[in-house]
Amino acid sequence: MSLPITIRQLNALRALQRNAPELGDLATSIALAFDASNIKNPQLARLILEKTCRRIVAGQPGSRDAMIQHLETFGNLNCLSPEQVSEFTDRIRKLA
């Protein structure tokens, strides 16, 4: 079960894909790979990813490191596999 998404979040994701296609694709990949059945509040996980993506787009210092930490936490919760965490972490580091 991937992360649930509201209409507002879908619109935000579409805007992200238009403005920062690589990050938008990454956010979509994470949401689709995410096993939401392992946590009580998947909406909070979606919000964390959305807000952290916005911080990355805004160029806020430490935002990429924050996303990597979130991914590691989601991996520890078994929402993402170790391979997925590694792949997504590599993609974050490669973002221009």
What's residue 1's pLDDT? 59
pLDDT tens digit string along 13-31? 788 888 888 988 888 899 8
What's residue 64's pLDDT? 94
Higher pLDDT, 96 or 30: 30
The answer for residues whose C-beta is within 8 angstroms of residue 16's C-beta and 6 or more apart is 23, 24, 27, 53, 54, 57
What's residue 92's pLDDT? 93
